[in-house]
Amino acid sequence: MLFLAIKNLVQEKTRLLISVGGVAFSVLLIMSIQGLYQGWSNKIGEYIRTVPADYWITQTGATDMFHTPSVLPLTVRDFLNGVEGVASAKPFSGRRVAFAHNGKDINLYVIADDVENNVGAPARVVEGKAVPGEGEIIIDRVVARSENIRIGDTIPIAGRTLKVAGYSEGGYILSFSFAFATKEDAESILQLPGATNFFLVTVEDGAAAGDVASRIEADPAVDAITKDRFVENNTNIVRDTFLPIILVLLLIGIAVGMTVIGLTIFTSTIEKAREYGVLKAIGVSNRQLYTVVVEQAVTAAVLGYALGAALALAINAVAGNYVPEFITEIRWLDAAWIFAVTMVMAVVSSLLPVRRLARIDPAEVFRA
Amino acid sequence: MSVVSVQDVSKTFSSGHTAVTAVDHVSLEVEAGDIVLVMGPSGSGKTTLLSMIGTLMSPTTGRILISGQDTSTLAPAQLSRLRLREFGFVFQTFNLLSALTAEENVMVPLLTAGMHRKPARAKARAALEQLKLGHRLRNLPRDLSGGEKQRVAIARSLANDPRLILADEPTANLDARTGQDVTLLLCETACRENRAVIIVSHDQRLRTAAKRVITIEDGRLTTEEDGEHNQNCRMHARAGSS
Ligand SMILES: Nc1ncnc2c1ncn2[C@@H]1O[C@H](COP(=O)(O)OP(=O)(O)OP(=O)(O)O)[C@@H](O)[C@H]1O
Ligand SMILES: [Mg+2]
């Protein structure tokens, strides 16, 4: 009897608002954090995908750009060029470097923009110069905006002073962002005389990529990692940082949502205990009564989900303009599992009211 | 076969070390078309007896058969179905669902029994119109007078064409005139359709509606007299319009 469930809900508008609001809050929370996770995961991969390489060659044991440092002597390049099936091998230098700005430590991942080899250019420059000149640096727009750094400002990095020459986009990752300096400046900042961090290898047409990788890895000092794998390894950093947070917020969201629906449905069930007793007396089965209560919880949850999801999408669309770090992506898949969680939440939180309902004695209805 | 057969039924409530025998070895047969008024002082066990007949409470000893079926052999879900199909309940406090309109309240037993919304609505409407409530279909209970509420409750009790209607003090929350009108209306409707009615009441004036009047004292059935109900049901046809 869905109509009874809906009528009961609508009768108590304040309570309905509270339960819908509670569910909306938890959906908003879960969806936003999931969206941020997804957004940041994509961002970190976005730049790496633009780098032209079939294989990333790292110092043995280094699997990504951030965890274990990878330093390779430039001489490795000759070895790589000599491997059968390698079309090109280019050095890629980049490392995390911090500088102080307005009393705050800002982390950049400085990349050598190697014009000669056509490696290490920004993915997209949105303002200013596209290629840094000597003594210049291109930083990510998100950092520029959040830290209020303008084109023309100078920033002190590793004992050098670099002038901001442009803003790039798509290189902001959580606690740091990609920045681009000339090969010479980067080498002095990164202190890599005669060395680089990675080599980017492309494979000749027709060569079996796996075989080429095996031949490269015959050198015990290097690992060859496919582009997809390398993207994934780097994305995992976001996952490792975020999963515990997501789990905690997911639990908080679920707890809030369940408490609010549970309490509102429970109080409404108690208030309507007599009416439920009447229904039992006139022959409505327990199972039908439980359905009414579960339907109330589920209806409130569906409304709450719709509101929460709408808010999440709205915030998703607007917040990035005000908070540059707020990079979100809400996927259908995520919307679907959050909906499923919401429904489970509603059903579980009806258990307590349903238990209360089971104890109502229909004979009570004859007492005035 | 009797609609109701109460066979040597007793009910004892025990709380702690005190035990109250609310119904004490009562036997009673109610046939189709019977209109039984149960009278007796407060605390004499009338509601307890009615609750047991209505399968809302089980006897401590004795058996109750509904259309020949021993109710003690039925599972809770079967009892629910029995109440839904065979019984109509009318209460002192009306007990309408506050969130539903008059029409929807009458639809509840129909929908519960599996009828589709459209025919259920039509049937509820017809029932309410018969009880002179055609102008109140869309009103919530809080907007209805006591007499109107009780007429909605009567329409609800009749919705599934029950064999037996059980009413406990249906007039107690109504003024004397309205109470009598409403009860006469209930009895007249039931009589016309050959349903059995058991009414518990203190109201002596309801004798005019009853075919049988039973008195209970201290849980025991003491007297049975004939009521003043005229066998011609149409005698009270004007009752609802007043
Ligand atoms: N659930 C119960 N637990 C304990 N005692 C009960 C219970 N229900 C009824 N009684 C007792 O059983 C006796 C009969 O009660 P019952 O309600 O059947 O009387 P009644 O004839 O309907 O009275 P009234 O005219 O006041 O409604 C009373 O003494 C009452 O206190
Ligand atoms: Mg009573």
Please tell me the predicted confidence (pLDDT) of residue A263: 92
Please indicate whether residue B63 or residue B235 has the higher confidence score (pLDDT). B63
Ligand 1: centre distance to CA B48 (Å)? 6
DSSP category for residue B92: T
Q: Determine contact, residues B132/B124, Cβ cutoff 8 Å.
A: no
Q: What is the largest CA-CA distance in chain B?
A: 54
Residue nearest ligand 1's atom 29 by CA: B43
A365 DSSP 8-state letter = G
Q: For B134-160, what is each residue's pLDDT tens digit?
A: 999 999 999 999 999 999 999 999 999
A279–B169 CB contact, under 8 Å: no
The confidence score (pLDDT) of residue A8 equals: 92
Lowest pLDDT segment from A5-14, A117-126, B80-89: A117-126
Q: How confident is the model at residue A101 (pLDDT cuts 50, 70, 90)?
A: confident
Task: Give start and end residues of each alpha helix (H) in chain B.
Answer: 46-53, 76-86, 102-112, 117-130, 146-158, 176-192
DSSP bridge pairs for A144 = none
Instruction: Please answer yes or no on whether A283 and B76 come within 8 Å at the CB atom.
Output: no
How many angstroms separate the CA atoms of A244 and A29, rounded?
15
**pTM listed for this prediction:** 0.82
CATH placement of domain B30-57+73-241: 3.40.50.300
The pLDDT value recorded for residue B241 is 38
Model pLDDT for residues B71-82, shown as the tens digit of each residue: 999 999 999 999
E strands, A276-359, in order: none
Residue burial A107-133, b: 16+ Cβ < 10 Å; e: rest: ebbbbbbbeeeebbbbbebeebebebe
pLDDT at B236: 41
Stretch among A85-89, A232-236, A343-347, B122-126 having the lowest mean pLDDT? A232-236
Ligand whose nearest atom lies closest to the CA of B44: 1
Report whether B10 contacts B57 (CB < 8 A): no
pLDDT of residue B83: 96
Contacts of A280 in chain B (CB under 8 A): 80
Question: Ligand 1 centroid to B44 CA: how many Å?
Answer: 7
Greater confidence, B96 or B179?
B96
Q: What percent of chain A has pLDDT over 90?
A: 64
What per-residue confidence (pLDDT) applies to B231?
Answer: 56
| Residue-range domain boundaries for chain B | 30-57+73-241
Q: How far apart are CA B214 and CA B191, in angstroms?
A: 18
Characterize A266-281 residue by residue with b for buried, 16 or more Cβ atoms within 10 angstroms of its Cβ, and e for exposed. bebbeebbbbbbbbbb
Q: Are A34 and A338 in contact (CB under 8 A)?
A: yes
Q: Look at residue A134 and tell me whether its pLDDT is greater than 70.
A: yes
- Per residue in B218-237, pLDDT (tens digit) is 999 999 999 887 655 554 44
How large is the angle between the packed helices A227-271 and A351-358, nearest 10 degrees?
A: 30
What is the pLDDT at residue B233? Answer: 56
Average of pLDDT values for A33-46?
84
- The answer, for A286 touching chain B at a CB cutoff of 8 Å, is yes
The rounded distance, in Å, linking the Cα atoms of B173 and B15 is 30
Spacing, Cα A278 to ligand 1 middle (Å): 19
Q: Which residues from chain B sit within 8 angstroms of residue A365, using beta carbons?
A: 56, 89, 91, 95
Share of chain B above pLDDT 70, in %: 95
The Cα-based distances of B32 to B9, B38, B47, B82, B162 in angstroms read 21, 17, 21, 16, 11
State how far the Cα of B99 lies from the Cα of A6, in Å rounded to an integer.
9
Distance of CA A20 to the CA centre of its chain: 26
- Report the atom number in ligand 1 closest to the C-alpha of B202: 25
Query: ipTM, 2 decimals?
Result: 0.92
φ, ψ for residue A197, nearest 5 deg? -95, -40
- Residue A180 near residue A94, CB atoms below 8 Å: no
- A66-71, Cβ contacts within 8 angstroms, sequence gap of 24 or more: A66/A96, A66/A109, A66/A234, A66/A237, A67/A237, A69/A95, A69/A197, A70/A197, A70/A198, A71/A192, A71/A195, A71/A196, A71/A197
Q: Which residues in chain A are closer than 8 Å to B97, comparing Cβ atoms?
A: 4, 7, 275, 278-279
Interface test with A, best of B80, B110, B118 (most A CBs within 10 A): B80
